[in-house]
Structure 1
């Protein structure tokens, strides 16, 4: 219960820091946005904990909880899909989410599902993250541009 007294102010601080980072980055000539989607294996297991973590991630500017995936095999953890706008370093994204989860629910600190931030020396495995397809982005940009050209 005591961790809630420290987690709340920490989360508010993270929201302000992240918001400041988004604003300053958006004002730069070359914005450093590199969106990435990660598949984060959850250490929390109760529905209210998953909902709380997902809400905290979404409240933090530049991150968004996209959804949950059931475990692929028996005994494996639920996977939370998370989009991060500053994903040039996916290891850092995993580590920051693991830190948030451990601050919210300290009892999970000893659980390690093999991703960065959940233990020592963990590496990202193939399929743990992906960058949005540039083909999709190019198609969307061309469609919007074409629509603007075709209207009188």
Structure 2
């Protein structure tokens, strides 16, 4: 049943993000601030991971870069995601968590301690990095 709700929502997100990217391209300061985040997955099956990463990649301005195996037993897989508009990594995490919950509602109660997955409001810097030095960007 949730797929009947997820697919139309996902299509809407593709169009909304596409218009945002197109509009940003016409502005002198497009607002691009690419960030790479390390998102701890709550979905676990290969099928769920495939659809989640596909959903991210088909949404303009985001890209699934890779999947990291858990370091310790019981830890989640880590999904590397690049977001072109990543000036606020907390919002990127919240957006990813929202997409994951819409795709697989059963994950809502799983919390790996990052924003969007529970009560966390701050993000440890180990979960994100800016590939472009911000000092260089202001030059």
**TM-score per shorter chain, which class?**
over 0.9
Q: For structure 1, which runs of at least 5 residues remain unmatched after alignment?
A: 139-152
User: Which of these two proteins has the greater Rg computed from alpha carbons?
Assistant: 1
The answer for the alignment partner of 2:87 in structure 1 is: 88
- Quote the offset at 1:105 in angstroms: 0.2
Q: Deviations over 1:50-93 (max 9, x none)?
A: 01000000000000000000111121000000000000010000
What are the residue-to-residue correspondences of 1:99-118 with 2, within 5 Å?
99-118=98-117
TM-score by length of 1: 0.86
State the partner residue of 2:60: 61
Whether the 8 Å CA contact 1:112–1:118 is kept in 2: the answer is yes
Q: Distance in 2 between the 1:105 and 1:77 partners? A: 16
Runs of 4+ in 1 over 6 A off after TM superposition: none
Contact 2:90–2:121 (CA under 8 A) maintained in structure 1: no
Using the TM superposition, name which of 45-54 and 116-125 deviates more: 116-125
Q: Secondary structure at the match of 2:85?
A: coil
> So what's the TM-score if we normalise by structure 2?
0.94
Instruction: Calculate the aligned-residue CA RMSD, in Å.
Output: 1.5
Counterpart of 1:148 in structure 2 is none
The unaligned stretches of length 5 or more in structure 2 are: none
1:92-144 per-position Cα deviation (integer Å, ceiling 9, x unaligned): 00000000000000000000001110001342113100001339x89xxxxxx
Task: Give the number of equivalent residue pairs.
Answer: 136
